[in-house]
Amino acid sequence: MSILVNKNTRLLVQGITGREGLFHTTEMVAYGTNVVAGVTPGKGGEWVLNGKIPVFDSVKLAKEATGANTSVVFVPARFTADAIFEAADAGIELIIAISEGVPVQDMMRVRSYLDQKDVRLVGPNCPGLLTPGEARVGIIPGNIAIPGNVGVVSRSGTLTYEVLYALKNLNMGVSTCVGIGGDPINGTNFIDALRMFEEDPQTEKVVLIGEIGGTDEEEAAKFIANHMSKPVAAFIAGQSAPPGKRMGHAGAIVQGGTGLAKDKIKALKDAGVKVAKHPEEIPTLF
Protein backbone atom coordinates (compact mmCIF):
# COMPACT_ATOMS: atom_id res chain seq x y z
CA MET A 1 0.00 0.00 0.00
CA SER A 2 0.91 3.65 -0.35
CA ILE A 3 -0.93 6.93 -0.60
CA LEU A 4 -1.69 9.01 -3.71
CA VAL A 5 0.74 7.40 -6.20
CA ASN A 6 1.90 3.85 -6.89
CA LYS A 7 2.78 1.47 -9.73
CA ASN A 8 -0.79 1.76 -11.07
CA THR A 9 -0.60 5.55 -11.47
CA ARG A 10 -1.06 6.61 -15.09
CA LEU A 11 0.75 9.92 -15.29
CA LEU A 12 0.58 12.72 -17.84
CA VAL A 13 2.98 15.65 -17.87
CA GLN A 14 1.68 19.15 -18.60
CA GLY A 15 4.52 21.09 -20.19
CA ILE A 16 6.36 17.95 -21.26
CA THR A 17 8.24 19.62 -24.15
CA GLY A 18 9.73 22.37 -21.98
CA ARG A 19 13.23 22.06 -20.57
CA GLU A 20 12.18 21.22 -17.01
CA GLY A 21 9.26 19.07 -18.08
CA LEU A 22 11.31 16.95 -20.46
CA PHE A 23 14.24 16.56 -18.06
CA HIS A 24 12.10 15.38 -15.17
CA THR A 25 9.94 13.21 -17.43
CA THR A 26 13.13 11.41 -18.43
CA GLU A 27 14.02 10.94 -14.77
CA MET A 28 10.53 9.76 -13.82
CA VAL A 29 10.45 7.22 -16.64
CA ALA A 30 13.91 5.97 -15.70
CA TYR A 31 12.66 5.43 -12.15
CA GLY A 32 9.81 3.29 -13.43
CA THR A 33 6.92 5.73 -13.20
CA ASN A 34 4.17 4.94 -15.68
CA VAL A 35 4.20 8.14 -17.76
CA VAL A 36 1.55 7.64 -20.45
CA ALA A 37 1.27 11.07 -22.10
CA GLY A 38 2.39 14.66 -22.29
CA VAL A 39 0.48 17.87 -23.02
CA THR A 40 1.78 20.96 -24.79
CA PRO A 41 -0.75 23.07 -26.72
CA GLY A 42 0.22 23.31 -30.38
CA LYS A 43 2.51 20.29 -30.29
CA GLY A 44 -0.08 17.53 -30.42
CA GLY A 45 1.01 14.61 -32.58
CA GLU A 46 4.65 14.83 -31.56
CA TRP A 47 6.45 12.21 -29.48
CA VAL A 48 9.20 12.53 -26.87
CA LEU A 49 11.81 10.19 -25.43
CA ASN A 50 12.52 8.53 -28.77
CA GLY A 51 8.90 7.85 -29.57
CA LYS A 52 7.94 6.46 -26.16
CA ILE A 53 5.49 9.12 -25.00
CA PRO A 54 2.85 10.84 -27.17
CA VAL A 55 2.19 14.56 -26.89
CA PHE A 56 -1.35 15.97 -27.04
CA ASP A 57 -2.77 19.47 -27.46
CA SER A 58 -5.04 19.17 -24.42
CA VAL A 59 -5.45 17.18 -21.22
CA LYS A 60 -8.90 16.07 -22.35
CA LEU A 61 -7.50 14.44 -25.48
CA ALA A 62 -4.62 12.89 -23.54
CA LYS A 63 -6.94 11.39 -20.94
CA GLU A 64 -9.33 10.01 -23.54
CA ALA A 65 -6.48 8.36 -25.46
CA THR A 66 -4.39 7.01 -22.57
CA GLY A 67 -6.60 6.73 -19.48
CA ALA A 68 -4.32 9.03 -17.48
CA ASN A 69 -5.53 9.59 -13.90
CA THR A 70 -2.77 11.85 -12.55
CA SER A 71 -1.10 15.00 -13.88
CA VAL A 72 2.14 16.73 -12.96
CA VAL A 73 2.40 20.40 -13.95
CA PHE A 74 5.70 21.77 -15.27
CA VAL A 75 4.57 25.07 -16.79
CA PRO A 76 5.56 28.70 -16.04
CA ALA A 77 3.89 30.24 -13.01
CA ARG A 78 1.64 32.52 -15.05
CA PHE A 79 0.10 29.50 -16.81
CA THR A 80 -0.13 27.17 -13.78
CA ALA A 81 -3.67 28.07 -12.70
CA ASP A 82 -5.01 27.49 -16.22
CA ALA A 83 -3.16 24.16 -16.41
CA ILE A 84 -4.74 23.06 -13.13
CA PHE A 85 -8.20 24.15 -14.28
CA GLU A 86 -7.73 22.24 -17.54
CA ALA A 87 -6.68 19.04 -15.76
CA ALA A 88 -9.56 19.27 -13.29
CA ASP A 89 -12.12 19.86 -16.07
CA ALA A 90 -10.76 16.85 -17.94
CA GLY A 91 -11.48 14.59 -14.96
CA ILE A 92 -7.94 14.09 -13.68
CA GLU A 93 -8.20 12.87 -10.08
CA LEU A 94 -4.81 13.98 -8.77
CA ILE A 95 -2.84 17.06 -9.87
CA ILE A 96 0.70 17.80 -8.68
CA ALA A 97 1.85 21.35 -9.40
CA ILE A 98 5.64 21.73 -9.22
CA SER A 99 5.73 25.31 -10.52
CA GLU A 100 6.93 27.99 -8.11
CA GLY A 101 6.05 31.68 -8.06
CA VAL A 102 2.34 31.11 -8.71
CA PRO A 103 0.47 34.31 -7.70
CA VAL A 104 -1.55 34.01 -4.50
CA GLN A 105 -4.63 35.41 -6.26
CA ASP A 106 -4.38 32.64 -8.85
CA MET A 107 -4.27 30.03 -6.11
CA MET A 108 -7.28 31.58 -4.39
CA ARG A 109 -9.24 31.03 -7.60
CA VAL A 110 -7.88 27.50 -7.96
CA ARG A 111 -8.79 26.48 -4.42
CA SER A 112 -12.26 27.98 -4.71
CA TYR A 113 -12.83 25.95 -7.89
CA LEU A 114 -11.26 22.66 -6.80
CA ASP A 115 -13.13 22.69 -3.49
CA GLN A 116 -16.29 22.19 -5.57
CA LYS A 117 -14.87 19.20 -7.46
CA ASP A 118 -13.62 15.72 -6.52
CA VAL A 119 -10.01 16.57 -7.38
CA ARG A 120 -6.92 16.54 -5.18
CA LEU A 121 -4.15 19.09 -5.75
CA VAL A 122 -0.64 18.79 -4.31
CA GLY A 123 1.38 22.01 -4.47
CA PRO A 124 2.15 24.37 -6.06
CA ASN A 125 5.82 25.12 -5.36
CA CYS A 126 6.39 21.57 -4.15
CA PRO A 127 8.83 18.74 -4.90
CA GLY A 128 6.01 16.29 -5.62
CA LEU A 129 5.45 12.70 -4.48
CA LEU A 130 7.62 9.62 -4.10
CA THR A 131 6.49 6.09 -3.38
CA PRO A 132 9.86 4.27 -3.32
CA GLY A 133 10.10 1.41 -5.77
CA GLU A 134 6.79 2.31 -7.43
CA ALA A 135 6.41 5.90 -8.62
CA ARG A 136 8.28 9.20 -8.61
CA VAL A 137 6.09 12.17 -9.56
CA GLY A 138 7.90 15.51 -9.53
CA ILE A 139 11.49 16.33 -8.68
CA ILE A 140 12.25 14.27 -5.55
CA PRO A 141 15.40 12.20 -6.29
CA GLY A 142 14.49 8.54 -6.44
CA ASN A 143 17.77 7.17 -5.09
CA ILE A 144 17.56 8.77 -1.63
CA ALA A 145 14.78 6.57 -0.27
CA ILE A 146 13.95 2.89 0.01
CA PRO A 147 10.55 1.20 0.40
CA GLY A 148 9.31 0.88 3.95
CA ASN A 149 6.73 1.90 6.54
CA VAL A 150 7.53 5.56 7.31
CA GLY A 151 5.22 8.19 5.86
CA VAL A 152 6.77 11.62 5.25
CA VAL A 153 4.94 14.93 4.76
CA SER A 154 6.87 18.15 4.33
CA ARG A 155 6.58 21.86 3.51
CA SER A 156 10.26 22.05 2.53
CA GLY A 157 11.85 20.46 -0.52
CA THR A 158 15.50 20.39 0.53
CA LEU A 159 14.76 19.25 4.06
CA THR A 160 12.63 16.47 2.61
CA TYR A 161 15.67 15.14 0.78
CA GLU A 162 17.82 15.34 3.92
CA VAL A 163 15.32 13.39 5.98
CA LEU A 164 14.74 10.73 3.31
CA TYR A 165 18.49 10.19 3.03
CA ALA A 166 18.91 10.06 6.80
CA LEU A 167 16.20 7.41 7.00
CA LYS A 168 17.82 5.41 4.21
CA ASN A 169 21.21 5.52 5.92
CA LEU A 170 19.65 3.79 8.93
CA ASN A 171 17.90 1.29 6.64
CA MET A 172 14.51 2.82 7.35
CA GLY A 173 12.18 2.82 4.36
CA VAL A 174 9.36 5.09 3.29
CA SER A 175 5.79 4.23 2.29
CA THR A 176 5.16 7.55 0.52
CA CYS A 177 6.74 11.00 0.73
CA VAL A 178 4.40 13.96 0.15
CA GLY A 179 5.88 17.39 -0.52
CA ILE A 180 2.98 19.79 0.08
CA GLY A 181 4.90 22.97 -0.77
CA GLY A 182 5.51 26.13 1.19
CA ASP A 183 3.11 28.61 -0.40
CA PRO A 184 0.43 30.32 1.73
CA ILE A 185 -2.37 28.72 -0.31
CA ASN A 186 -1.93 25.18 -1.58
CA GLY A 187 -3.95 22.09 -2.30
CA THR A 188 -3.09 19.31 0.15
CA ASN A 189 -2.14 20.29 3.70
CA PHE A 190 -0.58 18.51 6.67
CA ILE A 191 -3.90 17.26 8.01
CA ASP A 192 -4.89 15.78 4.63
CA ALA A 193 -1.64 13.82 4.45
CA LEU A 194 -1.72 12.79 8.11
CA ARG A 195 -5.25 11.44 7.69
CA MET A 196 -4.19 9.38 4.66
CA PHE A 197 -1.15 8.00 6.49
CA GLU A 198 -3.29 7.11 9.51
CA GLU A 199 -5.61 5.12 7.23
CA ASP A 200 -2.79 3.46 5.25
CA PRO A 201 -2.02 -0.03 6.63
CA GLN A 202 1.56 0.03 5.31
CA THR A 203 2.46 3.26 7.11
CA GLU A 204 3.39 2.56 10.74
CA LYS A 205 5.04 5.87 11.69
CA VAL A 206 5.03 9.40 10.29
CA VAL A 207 7.53 12.23 9.86
CA LEU A 208 6.28 15.83 9.66
CA ILE A 209 8.64 18.54 8.41
CA GLY A 210 7.40 22.06 9.03
CA GLU A 211 8.74 25.58 9.04
CA ILE A 212 8.00 29.02 10.42
CA GLY A 213 5.01 30.99 9.19
CA GLY A 214 1.29 30.39 9.35
CA THR A 215 -0.43 28.03 11.74
CA ASP A 216 -0.49 24.79 9.74
CA GLU A 217 1.78 22.96 12.16
CA GLU A 218 -0.34 23.99 15.14
CA GLU A 219 -3.47 22.72 13.37
CA ALA A 220 -1.62 19.50 12.52
CA ALA A 221 -0.71 19.10 16.19
CA LYS A 222 -4.41 19.26 17.15
CA PHE A 223 -5.21 16.60 14.56
CA ILE A 224 -2.38 14.37 15.79
CA ALA A 225 -3.55 14.66 19.39
CA ASN A 226 -7.15 13.80 18.56
CA HIS A 227 -6.96 11.42 15.61
CA MET A 228 -3.51 9.81 15.16
CA SER A 229 -2.71 6.43 16.65
CA LYS A 230 0.65 6.14 14.90
CA PRO A 231 3.84 7.72 16.31
CA VAL A 232 4.86 11.05 14.75
CA ALA A 233 8.29 12.70 14.72
CA ALA A 234 8.82 16.25 13.49
CA PHE A 235 11.30 18.97 12.64
CA ILE A 236 10.57 22.70 12.38
CA ALA A 237 12.86 24.78 10.18
CA GLY A 238 13.59 28.46 10.76
CA GLN A 239 14.14 28.45 14.50
CA SER A 240 16.66 31.30 14.25
CA ALA A 241 14.81 33.33 11.59
CA PRO A 242 14.27 37.04 12.40
CA PRO A 243 10.59 38.09 12.71
CA GLY A 244 9.10 39.81 9.64
CA LYS A 245 11.60 38.38 7.17
CA ARG A 246 10.51 35.89 4.54
CA MET A 247 12.71 32.82 4.54
CA GLY A 248 12.65 31.00 1.22
CA HIS A 249 8.95 30.17 0.92
CA ALA A 250 6.12 32.65 0.53
CA GLY A 251 4.46 31.08 3.54
CA ALA A 252 7.59 31.13 5.71
CA ILE A 253 7.21 34.49 7.39
CA VAL A 254 6.54 35.33 11.03
CA GLN A 255 4.07 38.16 11.44
CA GLY A 256 2.08 39.60 14.31
CA GLY A 257 3.50 37.15 16.81
CA THR A 258 2.19 34.10 14.99
CA GLY A 259 4.10 31.44 13.09
CA LEU A 260 7.01 31.28 15.53
CA ALA A 261 9.07 28.09 15.59
CA LYS A 262 8.87 27.84 19.38
CA ASP A 263 5.05 27.89 19.29
CA LYS A 264 4.94 25.17 16.65
CA ILE A 265 7.41 23.03 18.58
CA LYS A 266 5.43 23.44 21.82
CA ALA A 267 2.14 22.55 20.12
CA LEU A 268 3.66 19.42 18.59
CA LYS A 269 5.31 18.32 21.82
CA ASP A 270 2.05 18.87 23.70
CA ALA A 271 0.41 16.53 21.17
CA GLY A 272 2.93 13.80 21.95
CA VAL A 273 5.15 14.40 18.92
CA LYS A 274 8.89 13.98 19.32
CA VAL A 275 10.59 17.03 17.80
CA ALA A 276 14.13 16.80 16.43
CA LYS A 277 16.76 19.49 16.95
CA HIS A 278 18.11 18.84 13.46
CA PRO A 279 16.83 16.78 10.48
CA GLU A 280 19.35 13.95 10.85
CA GLU A 281 18.03 13.24 14.34
CA ILE A 282 14.55 12.28 13.12
CA PRO A 283 15.23 8.58 12.39
CA THR A 284 16.48 8.08 15.98
CA LEU A 285 13.25 9.37 17.54
CA PHE A 286 11.16 6.30 16.71
**Cβ atoms 232, 208 nearer than 8 A:** yes
Rounded to whole angstroms, the Cα distance separating 89 from 66 reads 16
Distance CA 18, CA 75 (A): 8
- Three-state DSSP class for 125? coil
Q: Are the C-beta atoms of 87 and 96 separated by less than 8 Å? A: no
User: Whats the size of the chain, residue-wise?
Assistant: 286
Number of C-alpha atoms within 13 angstroms, CB side, residue 242? 2
What 3-state class would DSSP assign to 61? helix
199: left (phi over 0), alpha (psi -120 to 50) or beta: alpha
| Residue (of 112, 114, 142) closest to 127 by Cα position | 142
24 is catalytic: no
**Which residue of the set 24, 227, 249, 278 is catalytic?**
249
Burial of residue 30 (CB within 10 Å: 0-12, 13-18, 19+) is: exposed
Q: Which residues are catalytic?
A: 249
